[in-house]
Amino acid sequence: MSGADPCTGSNREGNDLSGFRLADGARPMVPVVAGPTQAVTFGSNVEAFLKYNDAGLKYAASVGAGQQLLAEGNPQNLVDGGVNTLRRRYPNIKAVDDLATAQRQKFATTFVLDIRNKAGMFPGDKTTVDLIIVAFDAQMKPLSRIEGHGEVTIKPYVVPEVGVAYRMVLADLDTKAQRLLN
């Protein structure tokens, strides 16, 4: 995984981002000036998404799905892409298991990368994917939330182009990160 440690969400301490909310009146996408040390960890959806898709890809391969779909549909590409977006801005960023570890190790800024996905099933449905980066300060107070979005519409009689949605979300996240992460 491009320099980051594998997910270990089952051993996770600390905060779960599924109900994450910024304080009332806070703007979700504000510029982040990271402190001198940075860490990255993964939200609770990442491990679940990787396991779910791993099972789905095994099934798809067993029923004859093409190699392009199997390669493009690998969610590890999203995780690696999100980590690389952060690494381009913070080359010395360190992977940690969870927010509690980041706080114990006194990182000035911790980024949590999470995924939200909805798979389209029938022609006309959309497959959507969102990559979310939430920045926390050393006291684990949220600073900002940056979201990238990608989607593709399922077409009849055509292999789903999941890779289009994945490339779209990574490009959107990178554009926002360029503007908001300093």
Q: What is the pLDDT of residues 58-73, one digit of tens each?
A: 655 555 556 666 667 7
**What gap in Å lies between CA 62 and CA 166, rounded to an integer?**
23
Distance CA 157, CA 79 (A): 29
| Domain residue extents for the chain | 34-180
The whole-angstrom separation of Cα 114 and Cα 44 is 7
* Reported pTM: 0.78
DSSP secondary structure letter of residue 18: G
For 14-34, the pLDDT digits (tens) are 344 444 554 444 445 778 889
How many alpha carbons fall within 13 Å on the CB side of residue 20? 24
What's the DSSP call for residue 16? -
- In degrees rounded to 5, what are phi and psi of residue 29? -115, 85
d(CA 98, CA 179): 26
Q: Which CA distances in Å does 114 have to 65, 89, 155? A: 27, 18, 28
